[in-house]
């Protein structure tokens, strides 16, 4: 093995399963299996080293300036990469050039702007299963510790969760990479998840080592101050593993991780992974992208940090009434003050993403332009602060107090940095003239020397009579005089020949060398001086890290609040009234995504009322394509938005804070997980029935569709009864089982709704308007025609439908359902399922015939008594 390949193998052994990008001159090379993988993923040509040997080494490479784009492709394909650089100048090297791994890059540990999406957070998560030690007072059921950290901002949280919620929590966090214990037989990573998995050694999850590491990182003696309790060991183990991993990948340091917050679930609205997917909160179902999601539709923030924070708010809405109202107060202030809002937004637009800038400063990857952007951001703060001063809402006052102006830092950076700064300090020329006298004089000296050389060239041309004599420079000979062969004979004796080229000769003179030394020395010193100034500026900025992080967080939140207000002003959204009671009263509500994407006024608004008096379970029937799913989703999304702190698309809204939102919507494609559609539907339904509380909001779309009609109907029926009797939560149930509407007659808190349809000649117009009562037709055949199903198929379907209707009109064919055992209200009665149309109750025709104008209140009361008795003894028509 050659010494270089030996060096390669040593580096490869140190970077685990990461692909090793090995710098060789102007190229990064990959060898062996890495080369084969890279050739496949990056489309590189696979070649080989020592082609003639019996064992040629596979090899692939790319030019060094393409590093970022290739790294990004590797990361997107789920790989980790280690960059091994030449850490000494090859010209100075004695023997083999020294090389070191300077960066380990993985999806969850990105800091480079080129590799990050500015509008999306980029979390690394760590998961560990943990069995609490016996003898402690908590139960010894295993739990899961999850930590999540963002290298590009320094955000770090950890919490303990039931093992069954790991998937839901990871879905909430939406990490780019998840690390787990390599030897944990009870934990198997889900390969279909949209993040990459990295196995890590068990020691990095150890309890004691984690506590020690975290305490050292945050310079504290105990983690209690961050809100951790005795039973948070699992969280701390996960956090320790995450920090170990981050430290390994960031040799430059992690100073911007200054604290960690203990996450306790009670503060957040619980949304499980499938509900999150179904409601398309941060990603769409079909493409899994942000475009078209709720966050995308409502995002009017003007900074990237604001955009990321908005996604955090929407992904984890609140449950505390006061905290929610504080956000609403702040949005209301920006909503009513259009000029305040405009000013704040236009100032924020001039600022930079200092959250990410600070992370680059802390990890040692910063350049002059980053510092300049810190200064420019600080220069906008006085205006912002002045606009916000004295405002009443608590949140705004709090944020205003966090806009620290840092005047000394700002003025130092402003006076030091030139108007145009390069990205990298090595490029030089970024310190403003007049900032540092020493640098100025070195620059003058260097410039003066260059001037002398120009004059010397002219002088020599005149003295020798060589018209094209010129002074040139290269790294090997320094400054030289170049004379073409045609004038060789005019060269004076004191020129010392250094190099002969095809058309010319190159000479030096003692005077030229003397000045060369001066110029080069001055240049070198100026550049060293400039690097020193940069280093000092970086250190000064770094000293302000904690303060600047507060500024960054305050700006991001102001952006979110002002953006939500802007959205509300543009789209006529209103402030919801919040309550802890389990009610919902939305007047003229609209679907937040369609409200924004459809032209204004095109969306048909609808009311929704949930209260123990009017009904907690709303059964929505109606034709296909009429808007049932849209309606039930809109109610869930309005609730979610309100709890996240946003105004809502409605004329008025009274929202009872939900502890959990469940959405069982449509049959999402879960085949890749090896489960049948129906199985998935039932797993999700089981979860709702087992975990919903009376304060939850449940939306169900067509439960039971994936099985035979009677199976499906029976399940839907029993599920509705269970929700009504046992849970009593707010429920919206869109269904094609019209039979279910009969439940309204016997279950007091069930109310029927349907979607209005207008029939016109042979046409059907969907009005998208929700009205009371059940529907009796599906119009499926009509929708099939609209979709382009051939007319002969449609005609035949109509025939079949007509026959079915005739057959089922015969009462003897109708199945009957007995009420659940021990249920008083329906004792002795049984439901008659009418597959098409309603059962008529005699009481209804009596009501219809009443002449209310001629009745006294006593008459009416007596009638009601009779009617109630009749209904109680005979709730529905018996077969």
Ligand X SMILES: Nc1ncnc2c1ncn2[C@@H]1O[C@H](COP(=O)(O)OP(=O)(O)OP(=O)(O)O)[C@@H](O)[C@H]1O
Residue number with CB closer to ligand X (38 or 680): 680
Least distance in angstroms from the C-beta of 622 to ligand X:
6
Six token digits for residue 554? 């305050």
Annotated binding-site residue? 278: no
Annotated binding-site residue? 392: no
CB 578 within 8 A of CB 328: yes
The one-character DSSP state at 546 is: H
Q: Which of 582, 661, 579, 659 is nearest to 266 (CA)?
A: 659
Least distance in angstroms from the C-beta of 290 to ligand X:
20
Burial class (CB in 10 A: 0-12, 13-18, 19+), 465: exposed
Q: Which of 121, 89, 106 is nearest to 23 (CA)?
A: 89
The one-character DSSP state at 227 is: T
Q: Which of 135, 156, 164, 120 is nearest to 261 (CA)?
A: 156
Least distance in angstroms from the C-beta of 271 to ligand X:
21
Residue number with CB closer to ligand X (361 or 620): 620
Residue number with CB closer to ligand X (284 or 379): 284
H or E stretch covering 522:
helix 510-543
Annotated binding-site residue? 441: no
Six token digits for residue 63? 């030019």
Q: What is the per-residue burial (b if ≥16 Cβ within 10 Å, else e) of 510-542? A: eebeebbeebeebbebbbebbeebbeebbeebb
Six token digits for residue 65? 């300036």
Q: Give the CA diameter of the chain.
A: 135
Pairing, β 27-31 against β 750-760: unpaired
Annotated binding-site residue? 629: yes
Helix locations, 288-406, DSSP H: 294-298, 304-315, 321-336, 338-349, 354-362, 368-388, 394-401
> At a CB cut-off of 8 Å and minimum separation 6, what does 537 contact?
371, 412, 413, 416, 417
Least distance in angstroms from the C-beta of 111 to ligand X:
41
H or E stretch covering 588:
strand 584-589
**How far from chain centre, in Å, is Cα 777?**
42
Residue number with CB closer to ligand X (464 or 624): 624
Least distance in angstroms from the C-beta of 569 to ligand X:
22
Least distance in angstroms from the C-beta of 733 to ligand X:
12
Comparing every residue's Cβ against ligand X, the nearest one is: 627
> What is the secondary structure of 802-826 as a DSSP string?
HHHHHHHHSGGGS-EEPPPTT-GGG
Least distance in angstroms from the C-beta of 739 to ligand X:
16
* Residue 533: φ, ψ to 5°: -60, -45
Least distance in angstroms from the C-beta of 604 to ligand X:
4
Least distance in angstroms from the C-beta of 287 to ligand X:
17
Quick one: CA torsion of 675, 680, 683, 685, rounded to 10 degrees? Answer: -170
Residue number with CB closer to ligand X (391 or 628): 628
Least distance in angstroms from the C-beta of 629 to ligand X:
3
Residue number with CB closer to ligand X (554 or 775): 775
Residue number with CB closer to ligand X (563 or 625): 625
Residue number with CB closer to ligand X (460 or 630): 630
Residue number with CB closer to ligand X (268 or 625): 625
Euclidean distance between CA atoms 136 and 142, whole angstroms = 13
> At a CB cut-off of 8 Å and minimum separation 6, what does 569 contact?
335, 338, 341
Residue ranges that bind ligand X, judged by CB under 6 A: 603-604, 622, 624-630, 768
CB 302 within 8 A of CB 345: yes
The one-character DSSP state at 840 is: P
Residue number with CB closer to ligand X (362 or 617): 617
Coil, helix or strand for 605? coil
Binding residues: 622-629
Please enumerate, by residue number, every residue annotated as part of a binding site for ATP: 622-629
């Amino acid at each position: 093995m050659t010494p270089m390949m030996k060096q390669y193998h040593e580096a490869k052994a140190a970077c685990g399963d990461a692909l090793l990008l090995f710098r060789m001159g102007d190229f990064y090379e990959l060898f062996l299996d890495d080369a084969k993988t890279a050739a496949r993923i990056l489309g590189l040509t696979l070649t080989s080293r020592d082609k003639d040997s019996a064992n040629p080494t596979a090899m692939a490479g790319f030019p060094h300036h393409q590093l970022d784009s290739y790294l990004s492709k590797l990361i997107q394909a789920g790989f980790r990469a280690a960059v091994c650089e030449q850490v000494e100048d090859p010209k100075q090297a004695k023997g083999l050039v020294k090389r070191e791994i300077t960066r380990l890059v993985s999806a969850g540990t990105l800091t480079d702007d080129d590799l990050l999406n500015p509008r999306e957070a980029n979390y690394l998560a760590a998961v560990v299963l943990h069995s609490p030690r016996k003898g402690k007072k908590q139960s010894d059921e295993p739990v899961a510790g999850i930590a999540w950290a963002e290298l590009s901002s320094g955000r770090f949280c950890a919490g303990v969760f039931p093992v069954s919620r790991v998937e839901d929590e990871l879905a909430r966090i939406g990490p780019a990479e998840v690390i787990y214990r390599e030897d944990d037989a009870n934990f198997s990573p889900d390969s279909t998840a949209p993040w990459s998995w990295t196995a890590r050694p068990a020691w990095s999850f150890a309890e004691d080592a984690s506590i020690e590491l975290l305490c050292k990182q945050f310079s504290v003696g105990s983690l209690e101050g961050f809100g951790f309790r005795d039973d948070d060991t699992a969280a701390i183990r996960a956090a320790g593993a995450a920090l170990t991993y981050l430290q390994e990948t960031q040799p430059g340091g992690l100073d911007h991780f200054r604290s960690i917050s203990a996450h306790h679930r009670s503060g957040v609205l619980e949304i499980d992974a499938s509900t999150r997917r179904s409601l398309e909160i941060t990603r769409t179902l079909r493409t899994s992208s942000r475009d078209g999601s709720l966050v995308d539709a409502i995002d009017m923030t003007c900074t990237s940090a604001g955009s990321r924070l908005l996604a955090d708010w929407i992904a984890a809405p609140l449950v505390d009434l006061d905290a929610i109202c504080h956000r609403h107060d702040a949005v209301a202030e920006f909503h009513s003050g259009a000029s305040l809002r405009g000013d704040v937004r236009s100032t924020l637009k001039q600022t930079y993403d200092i959250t990410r800038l600070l992370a680059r400063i802390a990890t040692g990857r910063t350049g002059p332009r980053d510092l300049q952007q810190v200064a420019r951001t600080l220069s906008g703060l006085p205006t912002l602060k002045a606009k916000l001063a004295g405002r009443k809402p608590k949140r705004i006052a709090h944020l205003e107090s966090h806009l620290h102006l840092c005047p000394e830092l700002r003025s130092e950076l402003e006076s030091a940095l030139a108007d145009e700064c390069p990205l990298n300090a090595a490029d030089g020329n970024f310190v403003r003239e007049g900032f540092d006298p020493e640098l100025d004089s070195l620059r003058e000296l260097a410039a003066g020397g260059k001037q002398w050389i120009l004059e010397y060239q002219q002088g020599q041309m005149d003295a020798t009579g060589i018209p094209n004599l010129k002074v040139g420079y290269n790294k090997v000979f320094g400054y030289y005089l170049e004379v073409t062969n045609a004038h060789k004979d005019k060269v004076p004796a004191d020129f010392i020949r250094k190099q002969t080229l095809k058309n010319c000769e190159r000479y030096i003179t003692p005077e030229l060398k003397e000045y060369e030394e001066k110029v080069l020395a001055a240049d070198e010193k100026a550049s060293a001086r400039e690097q020193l100034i940069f280093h000092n500026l970086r250190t000064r900025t770094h000293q302000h890290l904690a303060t600047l992080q507060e500024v960054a967080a305050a700006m991001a939140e102001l952006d979110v609040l002002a953006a939500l207000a802007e959205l509300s002003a543009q789209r006529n959204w209103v402030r919801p009234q919040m309550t802890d009671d389990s009610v919902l009263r939305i007047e003229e509500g609209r679907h937040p995504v369609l409200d924004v994407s459809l032209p204004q006024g095109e969306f048909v608004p609808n009311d929704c009322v949930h209260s123990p008096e009017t009904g907690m379970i709303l059964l929505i029937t109606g034709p296909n394509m009429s808007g049932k799913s849209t309606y039930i989703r809109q109610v869930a999304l309005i609730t979610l938005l309100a709890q996240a702190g946003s105004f809502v698309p409605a004329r008025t809204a009274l929202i009872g804070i939900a502890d959990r939102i469940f959405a069982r919507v449509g049959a999402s494609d879960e085949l890749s997980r090896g489960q049948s559609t129906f199985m998935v539907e039932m797993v999700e339904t089981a979860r709702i029935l087992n975990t919903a509380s009376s304060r939850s909001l449940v939306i169900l779309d067509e439960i039971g569709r994936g099985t035979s009609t009677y199976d499906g109907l029976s399940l839907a029926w029993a599920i509705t009864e269970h929700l009504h009797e046992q849970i009593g939560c707010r429920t919206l149930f869109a269904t094609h089982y019209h039979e279910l509407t009969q439940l309204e007659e016997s279950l007091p808190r069930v109310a029927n709704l349907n979607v209005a349809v207008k029939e016109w000649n042979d046409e059907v117009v969907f009005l998208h308007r929700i009205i009371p009562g059940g529907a009796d037709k599906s119009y499926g055949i009509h929708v099939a025609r609209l979709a382009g199903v051939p007319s002969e198929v449609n005609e035949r379907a109509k025939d079949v439908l007509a026959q079915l209707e005739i057959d089922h009109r015969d009462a003897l064919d109708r199945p009957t359902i007995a009420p659940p055992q021990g249920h008083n209200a329906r004792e002795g009665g049984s439901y008659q399922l009418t597959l098409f149309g309603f059962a008529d109750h005699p009481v209804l025709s009596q009501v219809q015939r009443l002449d209310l104008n001629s009745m006294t209140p006593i008459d009416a009361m007596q009638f009601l008594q009779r009617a109630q008795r009749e209904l109680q003894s005979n709730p529905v028509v018996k077969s």
